[in-house]
Amino acid sequence: MTLQRTFTIIKPDAVKKNATGDIIKQFQDNGFRILAIKMLEISKHQAEQFYAVHASRPFFNSLTDFMSSGPIVVLALEKENAIADLRKLMGATNPANAEEGTIRKKWATNIEFNAIHGSDGEDTARFELSYFFAGYELAK
Ligand code: GDP
C-alpha cells in the first residue's frame, strides 16, 4: 500500500474543550505524519462551500452555523491507508455508537457536535485538502 493523504478538522466543540493537543497526539501515536496544520475561523459561507455535498440535508443550516461558531484546527495527514484508518480512529458519526478508544467516544458531545471531521474518500480528500491548503504549505 502506498502512502495516502487525508484531511481532518478538529471542530469548534473540541477546540473549546481544549482537546486539540490530545487529538493531535492521537494522530501521531497512530502513525499519521502531519504535513500541514493551522488554526482558523471560517465564515458561514465558507462552511456552506466546504459542506456543499450536504446542502439538501435537514441539518445543513445547523451544521454550518456550528462549523463557523469558533476556531477550528485543520490538518493534512499522511500514512498508508490514511483515509480509512482516520475514519476508524474517529469513530462513528454518532458518539453513542462510537467504539471505545476512538476520538469521538472520548470527545464528542452528540451526533452534531462530534469533535472531528475526516475525509470519507479519495475524491473528497483531494477537494478538502485543496480547499484549506495550497501545495506549497504541505511538508515534503
Ligand atoms: P461524518 O462523515 O462521520 O462526519 O458524517 P456525515 O458526513 O454523515 O455528516 C457530516 C456532519 O454533519 C457530521 O459529522 C455531524 O457534525 C453532522 N451531522 C450528521 N448527521 C447529523 C444528524 O442527523 N443531525 C445533526 N444535527 N447533525 C448531523
Query: pLDDT tens digits for 27-71?
Result: 999 999 999 999 999 999 999 999 999 999 999 999 999 999 999
Strand residues in 11-138 grouped as ranges (E): 33-40, 72-80, 116-118
CB atoms within 10 A of CB 59: 12
What residue's CA is closest to ligand 1, atom 17? Answer: 112
**In angstroms, what is the span from residue 12 Cα to ligand 1's centroid?**
14
Query: Could you tell me the maximum CA-CA distance found in the chain, to the nearest angstrom?
Result: 40
What residue's CA is closest to ligand 1, atom 4? Answer: 117
| Structural domain spans, the chain | 3-134
What residue's CA is closest to ligand 1, atom 5? Answer: 93
**In angstroms, what is the span from residue 136 Cα to ligand 1's centroid?**
31
Assess whether pLDDT exceeds 80 at residue 1. no
pLDDT (0 to 100) of residue 42: 98
Question: C-alpha angle with apex 75: 71 to 34, nearest 5 degrees?
Answer: 140
pLDDT (0 to 100) of residue 104: 98
Q: Is the Cβ atom of 64 under 6 angstroms away from ligand 1?
A: no
Q: Is the Cβ atom of 63 under 6 angstroms away from ligand 1?
A: yes
Instruction: Decide if 54 is catalytic.
Output: no
**The domain defined by 3-134 carries CATH number 3.30.70.141:** yes
Q: Which three cell numbers stand for residue 112?
A: 452534531
pLDDT (0 to 100) of residue 71: 98
pLDDT (0 to 100) of residue 133: 98
**In angstroms, what is the span from residue 77 Cα to ligand 1's centroid?**
21
